[in-house]
Amino acid sequence: MARLDLGVAQALTLDGQAHTARALWNLLHEYFTFRQGRFATLKDCDQAIRQARQDIDWMGQLPAQAAQAVLKTYRQAWANFFNPDHPAERPTFKSRGRSRMAVDVPQARDLQIKRINRRWGVVNLPKIGRVRFRWTKDLPGVTKGGPAGRITGARLVKEAHGWNIVFRTETLIAPTPAVHPGPSVGIDRGINVALALSDGTMREHGPWLTDGEREHLRRLEKKSARQRRTRIPDRPISRRLARTYAQIAKARATAKRRALDWQHQTTTELAGTFSTIVVEDLKITSMVRSAKGTVEQPGVNVGQKSGLNRAITAEAWGRTVTLLEYKSADRGGRVVKVPAPGTSQTCHQCGHRDPGNRARTVFTCKNPGCGWAGHADSNAAININNAAGTVVSGRGDLGATRSAKRQPPRAA
């Protein structure tokens, strides 16, 4: 994802396009689900879009190709919903506040991408013109000697920082290896480190925000609390408060983006190195471990793990597993989820389980005949890896439990 350098008017034009794309989605959804008579075909929908672009003035501000992309995405949403392997949510109406602002540029030849210097590239956007974007990585077909493949289109996405461009690429190489040659590994979502591996290594990261940025965020949160106190009930929030909220959202988006970058890099590396990745099977909602620990075993880095960081970490684990699942599958590997109760208290050497085995980051086996000592999170990761030998794992019977909810759109 690369930031677009838009002028104020250009950003407003793009906002307008995104609102129109959302309105078009809703129009299609209404047409598709509540139409009397027969099931709407692709031709019907296409006809409906053409008619809407003629009849409704503001519909014309969305480039024709982007409108076609909305139709394609909408139909794909239904296809995903009916896919028995990866059932997705049923398509719904998109509300103004809660849906993501996005516009598609489905045809690569319209883009005319060029690199102008080390930091910037330029791209053509329909009905907006030539726009600079931050050059963050080599693009296939643009960079000489860059990655193989070609760009097939782009998607413009609005984040708290503003508009970004995401290039779609098609890779022409890399047939998936039938079997991943790497070893197996267990991963513990450590209390002390981000990820602990059963091979004794760690994957760590610093705080997502610098001290200065955290202080800035803390001041903004105090400011918003102050501004909320003077708010009149049942009236819209003040411009000042709205601006503070936007600044808070921006700071949080920065932290989130850095966390996401780290996660992508780390999961790519892990999926490339290991053939089987074993993780603890946890329900994400019930798994926020206390960083504060207990009286006997106080946690470390309490400050760093509390508040924003902890929220990101908790949310991050579910995404880490999802990323590992698809990146492993791409490389011929797999992710195995195992139930692993007591992994942090049990010695992987002798199987002796005792809460006293663990003191902060250090694990010391209390079994006199064993006495193994090492990093507590590594020990947990080894237990998780070992647990995979005793458990048959699969994707779970997701399709069966959800089938009752899945119904075709009303064809009347």
What residue ranges bind Zn ion (CB under 5 A)?
347, 349-350, 352, 365, 367, 370, 372
Give the shortest CB-356-to-Zn ion separation in angstroms.
Answer: 12
CB nearer Zn ion, residue 129 or residue 351: 351
Cα(331)–Cα(341) distance, integer angstroms: 30
Torsion angles phi and psi, residue 264, rounded to 5 = -65, -45
Question: Collapsing DSSP states into helix, strand and coil, what is residue 280?
Answer: strand
Task: Find all residues with CB under 8 Å of 174, minimum gap 6, and list them.
Answer: none
Cα(256)–Cα(260) distance, integer angstroms: 6
220's enclosing H/E stretch is helix 211-229
CB nearer Zn ion, residue 99 or residue 367: 367
Give the shortest CB-389-to-Zn ion separation in angstroms.
Answer: 18
Cα(209)–Cα(212) distance, integer angstroms: 8
Q: Are 71 and 45 in contact (CB under 8 A)?
A: yes
CB nearer Zn ion, residue 157 or residue 370: 370
CB nearer Zn ion, residue 262 or residue 372: 372
Give the shortest CB-91-to-Zn ion separation in angstroms.
Answer: 54
Give the shortest CB-368-to-Zn ion separation in angstroms.
Answer: 10
CB nearer Zn ion, residue 245 or residue 372: 372
Give the shortest CB-196-to-Zn ion separation in angstroms.
Answer: 18
CB nearer Zn ion, residue 81 or residue 372: 372
Q: Are 86 and 80 in contact (CB under 8 A)?
A: yes
Q: Which of 388, 244, 262 is nearest to 316 (CA)?
A: 262
Give the shortest CB-345-to-Zn ion separation in angstroms.
Answer: 11
Contacts 24+ apart (CB under 8 A), 332-335: 332/176, 332/177, 332/178, 332/179, 332/180, 332/275, 333/180, 333/182, 333/271, 333/274, 333/275, 333/276, 333/277, 334/180, 334/275, 334/276, 334/277, 335/276, 335/277, 335/278, 335/279
CB nearer Zn ion, residue 69 or residue 365: 365
Give the shortest CB-280-to-Zn ion separation in angstroms.
Answer: 20
Give the shortest CB-372-to-Zn ion separation in angstroms.
Answer: 5
Q: Give the number of other CB atoms < 10 A from CB of residue 110.
A: 15
Chain centroid, CA 209 distance in Å: 19
Q: Are 290 and 349 in contact (CB under 8 A)?
A: no
CB nearer Zn ion, residue 273 or residue 367: 367
Give the shortest CB-337-to-Zn ion separation in angstroms.
Answer: 26
> In the structure encoding, which two tokens stand for residue 148, read together?
């193989």
CB nearer Zn ion, residue 169 or residue 385: 385
CB nearer Zn ion, residue 162 or residue 371: 371
DSSP assignments along 7-67, one per residue: -HHHHHHHHHHHHHHHHHHHHHHHHHHH-SSSPPPHHHHHHHHHHHHHH-GGGGGS-HHHH
Q: Which of 65, 93, 88, 66 is nearest to 77 (CA)?
A: 88
Give the shortest CB-364-to-Zn ion separation in angstroms.
Answer: 9
